[in-house]
């Protein structure tokens, strides 16, 4: 079972079925699903014969029927090669990564609070670091003389070392994880088999070591309770020295149903009930280590033959391994040359030949720019020539609904069988994937579009939080279908879970997955059957992550995002210094934004922000091109306050916590008082404001006259736990660049006000947003980034209130200067900020 798979213990949809009238059938189905594939292995990377360890992977006892089913590739002579199906190890990229981690990376570096990236680099890889932007700029601009092989080598040698640094930073963060202490991640292994190996470059000695672990497992309807799994990085401490090890083989076998006596004496079975499935579970583990580590373990076992050795799970490298593999496999994608050297002359980046915007007639409530994006996708799908197109979707412009419109338009064109019969939708996060799923289902309803169960499938390792999306989640669909078979009282196939999954994916028309999960073997059926790929929030994904859907060989691709908002998060100093945060979307956008007929369509009408809030972002970030739909002002006609106001606190004091994160207590106290007044003001029944912003629905009611007595009515204090107060709290968000300020504000404010960092607020919206700038004195830190400023200023719908030392910000940053100048011209700034706060009444 893959690491992280099946983690849905708290899911309401599943719990409802496990507690329902067919509970016993659901538990049987779950058992079949849990053990549908018990073997995960990368032994083929080492040319290792699986038969050599069969003796230790056959536990004593009664092996339960069907519990050892595996899907192994094999050579003609019958040698087992586990893992053959999941990986195409181009240029031995994965094996090289494993070699370096276990023989060259230095565990003691984890204890350092900070390490210079140049010093760290010497242990990570011998390939020198290079700047991402310069790597692209130095390639030949003459398309005829462009050397694609040289460009490919430069591309890989630039990105892969930076991803090594990024992986190290992730490992270091996991090592310091305070939520799960290291002693809670330890498993005892009885090592029995040792095989000497060498690294691929022949410079270091390594080894494969195999052992077993046997526990009582009680299923509590969450992930299989185990401390270690496939591609986990582990720490092995022997003789006061710590070594890295990599799990490259994990096989689990149910031996027998455990007795109640065994369960009562085992940690895995505590607090169980009679309805839970309980197994005596044996796990065979294969670990790749340095030769020194293997020798030390063997020496220890000579004097302690039956004593188990503890290993500690540190991190899992699956995500990084997929991205590094994708970088090395990019040449297998038919249009890879176009990505290495994007040029406007390339037919791949030109509009479809038959496309003409003059003939587009908007329908189903889509505006003109949205309809253009939908039409371009339709012409791309029909065109014999392959194309890539970008949709630029600023905040509130309805990009999610536009994607849903594209999907429905293409769905009617998909063939019933054969090649190119699926649409793949991807996004960097599970939340973004769930939002796409939600929007498509909504659009089915709005357009009265007929669809059946299985048309849309959401695949991944984390089920949706939204109850209504769960019936489209692949794992739950498999369970439901198994239950339906069990109801017939027919004897199910031993491989019913695998067969059911294959059937569902074969007939699915719309598949939704995170970008990284596209590297999973489960999505192998999408190869050669995917006719169109849409990637949402493409600007928030690392370039290597965006390469993963290309493994399905589809070359008709639409990227959707906003390069003027925050780029993907990068953890490592080397990644930040050398430009790893540049997304593929941003790179292509910078090449083509100057061409009026280039491969970029901008959604130009927003439905979120009041026109007064939108005006500055439109002028400064979007060159006056971001328009506000007329329905927005009508929707907010009863809002009693000015939509935008700035509180310039020049005398506030900034401090830092132990983690060097900044906070500002004066701002926090002012915001607390501001929120108290704000809640009292908005609690009046007259202030009813719609929360919909992306549905493009007009409200044609006549505007009511503004009640001049509203101020008097709203000044009555409202208790925090009053229902009216809670409703208002849920409409308010506080955004600040610093985690320390988030913690401080949470201690000051009512519980239902959402408080988040600027980076965490991307993609979200609230009726009212208060920005806490924090910085006062010294430099302005995170606030020097215009992408971050853009995100903070474009989250609100009705009201935006900025609190901070705006004078300092304006003196150090052109964007903030322009914002303050805008506020002074509009007379919406106060330089005398004191308690109690004055609300900016209209």
**DSSP state string for 448-504:** T----TTSEEE-SSS--SSGGGGGGBHHHHHHHHHHHHHHTTPPPPTTHHHHHHHHH
Choice between 133 and 424, residue whose per-residue pLDDT is larger: 424
The pLDDT tens digits for 735-786 are 999 999 999 999 999 999 999 999 999 989 999 999 999 999 889 998 999 9
d(CA 663, CA 804): 11
Partners of 559 in beta bridges: 390, 535
Q: Is residue 660 domain-shared with residue 784, that is, in the same domain?
A: yes
- What would the mean pLDDT of 653-657 be, rounded to a whole number? 84
CA angle 367-369-371, nearest 5°?
A: 65
Q: Is residue 401 domain-shared with residue 516, that is, in the same domain?
A: yes
- What would the mean pLDDT of 703-721 be, rounded to a whole number? 56
Q: Is residue 585 domain-shared with residue 647, that is, in the same domain?
A: no
CATH of the domain at 656: 3.40.50.300
Residue 55: what pLDDT?
72
Choice between 179 and 808, residue whose per-residue pLDDT is larger: 808
Choice between 636 and 289, residue whose per-residue pLDDT is larger: 289
| 640 three-state secondary structure | coil
Residue 272: what pLDDT?
42
Residue 213: what pLDDT?
86
Which run of H or E residues covers position 294?
helix 291-303
The pLDDT tens digits for 142-160 are 666 788 999 999 999 999 9
User: Of 12-21, 180-189, 604-613, where does the model show the most confidence?
Assistant: 604-613
Tell whether 447 is covered by a domain.
Answer: yes
pLDDT value at 267 more than 50: no
pLDDT value at 76 more than 60: no
Q: Is residue 769 domain-shared with residue 645, that is, in the same domain?
A: yes
Query: Which token pair is 690?
Result: 């719609």
Residue 225: what pLDDT?
39
pLDDT value at 690 more than 60: no
Choice between 426 and 305, residue whose per-residue pLDDT is larger: 426
Rg (CA), the chain: 29
Q: Is residue 762 domain-shared with residue 659, that is, in the same domain?
A: yes
Residue 358: what pLDDT?
84
Tell whether 809 is covered by a domain.
Answer: yes
Residue 642: what pLDDT?
96
Query: Which of 390, 387, 391 lies closest to 349, judged by CA?
Result: 387
Q: Is residue 526 domain-shared with residue 652, that is, in the same domain?
A: no
Residue 315: what pLDDT?
92
CA angle 43-56-522, nearest 5°?
A: 40
Query: Mean of the per-residue pLDDT values for the chain?
Result: 86
d(CA 640, CA 687): 8
d(CA 685, CA 304): 76
Q: Is residue 602 domain-shared with residue 635, that is, in the same domain?
A: no
CA angle 216-218-219, nearest 5°?
A: 140
For tokens 């430069």, what's the residue?
Answer: 154
d(CA 657, CA 774): 13
Q: Is residue 652 domain-shared with residue 520, that is, in the same domain?
A: no
Q: Is residue 568 domain-shared with residue 640, that is, in the same domain?
A: no
Tell whether 763 is covered by a domain.
Answer: yes
The pLDDT tens digits for 695-706 are 554 444 444 444
How many helices (H) and strands (E) the chain has is answered by: 27, 26
pLDDT confidence of 221, banded at 50, 70, 90?
A: very low
d(CA 629, CA 642): 19
Domain boundary among 538, 571, 606: 606
pLDDT confidence of 794, banded at 50, 70, 90?
A: very high
Q: Is residue 518 domain-shared with residue 597, that is, in the same domain?
A: yes
pLDDT value at 10 more than 60: no
Tell whether 190 is covered by a domain.
Answer: no
The torsion angle over the Cα atoms of residues 469, 502, 525 and 424, rounded to 10 degrees, is -20
pLDDT confidence of 528, banded at 50, 70, 90?
A: confident
Domain boundary among 573, 606, 639: 606
Query: Which token pair is 836?
Result: 């109690």
Task: Say if residues 105 and 244 touch (Cβ distance below 8 Å).
Answer: yes
Least confident span in 282-286, 371-375, 412-416: 412-416
Choice between 273 and 725, residue whose per-residue pLDDT is larger: 725
Choice between 73 and 688, residue whose per-residue pLDDT is larger: 688
Task: Say if residues 491 and 513 touch (Cβ distance below 8 Å).
Answer: no
Tell whether 156 is covered by a domain.
Answer: no
pLDDT confidence of 215, banded at 50, 70, 90?
A: confident
Tell whether 483 is covered by a domain.
Answer: no
Tell whether 756 is covered by a domain.
Answer: yes
| 385 three-state secondary structure | coil
Tell whether 399 is covered by a domain.
Answer: yes
pLDDT value at 191 more than 80: yes
Structural domains counted in the chain: 2
Q: Which domain holds residue 415?
A: 333-455+508-606
pLDDT confidence of 277, banded at 50, 70, 90?
A: low
Return the number of other C-beta atoms located less than 10 Å from residue 842's C-beta.
10
pLDDT value at 101 more than 60: yes
Residue 365: what pLDDT?
94
| 169 three-state secondary structure | helix
Q: Is residue 599 domain-shared with residue 648, that is, in the same domain?
A: no
Q: Is residue 677 domain-shared with residue 805, that is, in the same domain?
A: yes
């Amino acid at each position: 079972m893959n690491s992280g798979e099946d983690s849905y213990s708290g899911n309401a949809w599943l719990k409802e079925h496990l507690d329902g009238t067919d509970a016993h059938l659901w538990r049987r189905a779950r058992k079949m699903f849990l053990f549908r594939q018990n073997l995960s292995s990368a032994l083929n990377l080492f040319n290792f014969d699986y038969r050599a360890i069969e003796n230790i992977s056959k536990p004593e006892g009664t092996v339960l029927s069907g519990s050892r089913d595996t899907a192994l590739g094999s050579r003609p002579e019958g040698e087992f090669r586990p893992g053959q199906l999941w990986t195409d190890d181009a240029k031995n990229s994965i094996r090289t990564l494993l070699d370096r981690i276990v023989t060259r990376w230095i565990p003691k570096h984890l204890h350092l609070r900070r390490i210079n990236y140049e010093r760290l680099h010497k242990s990570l890889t011998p390939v020198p670091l290079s700047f991402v932007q310069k790597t692209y700029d130095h390639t030949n601009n003459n398309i005829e003389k462009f050397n694609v092989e040289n460009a490919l080598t430069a591309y890989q040698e630039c990105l892969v070392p930076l991803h090594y640094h990024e992986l190290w930073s992730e490992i270091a963060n996991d090592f310091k994880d305070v939520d799960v202490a290291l002693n809670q991640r330890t498993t005892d292994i009885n090592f029995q088999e040792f095989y000497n190996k060498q690294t691929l470059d022949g410079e270091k000695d390594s080894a494969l070591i195999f052992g077993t672990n046997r526990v009582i497992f009680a299923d509590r309807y969450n992930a299989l309770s185990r401390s270690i799994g496939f591609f986990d990085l582990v720490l092995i401490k022997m003789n006061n020295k710590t070594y890295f090890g990599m799990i490259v083989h994990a096989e689990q076998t149910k031996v027998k149903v455990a007795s109640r006596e065994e369960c009562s004496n085992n940690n895995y079975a505590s607090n169980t009930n009679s309805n839970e499935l309980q197994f005596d579970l044996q796990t065979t583990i294969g670990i790749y280590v340095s030769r020194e580590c293997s020798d030390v373990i063997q020496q220890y076992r000579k004097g302690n033959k039956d004593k188990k050795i503890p290993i500690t799970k540190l991190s899992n490298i699956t995500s990084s391994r997929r991205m590094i593999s994708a970088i090395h496999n990019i040449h297998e994608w038919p249009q890879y040359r176009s990505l290495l050297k994007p040029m406007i002359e390339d037919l791949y980046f030109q509009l479809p030949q038959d496309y003409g915007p003059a003939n587009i007639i908007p329908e189903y409530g889509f505006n003109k720019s949205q309809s253009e994006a939908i039409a371009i996708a339709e012409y791309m799908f029909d065109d014999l020539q392959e194309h890539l197109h970008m949709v630029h979707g600023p905040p509130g412009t309805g990009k999610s609904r536009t994607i849903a419109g594209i999907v429905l338009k293409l769905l009617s064109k998909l063939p019933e069988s054969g090649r190119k019969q699926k649409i793949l939708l991807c996004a960097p996060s599970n939340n973004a994937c769930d939002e796409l799923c939600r929007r498509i289902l909504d659009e089915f309803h709005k357009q009265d579009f007929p669809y059946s169960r299985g048309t849309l499938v959401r695949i991944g390792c984390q089920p949706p939080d939204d109850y209504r999306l769960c019936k489209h989640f692949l794992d739950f669909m498999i369970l439901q279908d198994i239950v339906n078979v069990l109801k017939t009282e027919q004897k199910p196939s031993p491989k019913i879970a695998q067969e059911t999954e294959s059937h569902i994916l074969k007939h699915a028309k719309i598949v939704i997955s995170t970008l990284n999960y596209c590297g999973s073997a489960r999505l192998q059926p999408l190869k050669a059957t995917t006719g169109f790929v849409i990637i949402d929030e493409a600007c928030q994904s690392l370039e290597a992550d965006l390469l993963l859907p290309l493994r399905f060989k589809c070359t008709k691709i639409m990227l959707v995002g906003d390069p003027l908002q925050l780029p993907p998060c990068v953890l490592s100093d080397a990644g930040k210094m050398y430009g790893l945060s540049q997304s593929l979307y941003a790179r292509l956008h910078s090449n083509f934004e100057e061409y009026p007929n280039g491969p970029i369509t901008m959604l130009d009408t927003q439905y979120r922000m009041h026109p007064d809030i939108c005006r500055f972002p439109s002028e400064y970030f979007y060159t006056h091109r971001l328009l506000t739909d007329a329905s927005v002002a009508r929707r907010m006609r009863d809002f009693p306050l000015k939509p935008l106001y700035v509180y310039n606190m020049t005398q506030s004091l900034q401090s830092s916590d132990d983690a060097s994160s900044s906070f500002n207590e004066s701002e926090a106290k002012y915001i607390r008082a501001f929120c108290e007044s704000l809640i009292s003001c908005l609690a009046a029944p007259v202030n009813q404001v719609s929360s919909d912003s992306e549905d493009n629905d007009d409200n044609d009611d006549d505007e009511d006259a503004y009640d001049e007595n509203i101020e008097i009515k709203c000044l009555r204090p409202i208790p925090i736990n009053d229902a009216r107060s809670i409703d208002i709290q849920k409409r308010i968000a506080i955004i600040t660049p610093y985690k320390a300020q988030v913690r401080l504000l949470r201690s000051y404010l009512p519980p239902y006000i959402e408080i988040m960092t600027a980076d965490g607020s991307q993609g979200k919206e609230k009726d009212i947003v208060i920005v806490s700038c924090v910085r006062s004195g010294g430099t302005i830190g995170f606030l020097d980034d215009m992408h971050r400023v853009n995100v903070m200023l474009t989250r609100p719908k009705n009201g935006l209130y900025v609190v901070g030392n705006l004078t300092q910000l304006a003196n150090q940053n052109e964007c903030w200067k322009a914002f303050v100048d805008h506020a002074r011209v509009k007379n919406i700034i106060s330089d005398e900020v004191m308690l109690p706060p004055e609300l900016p009444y209209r």
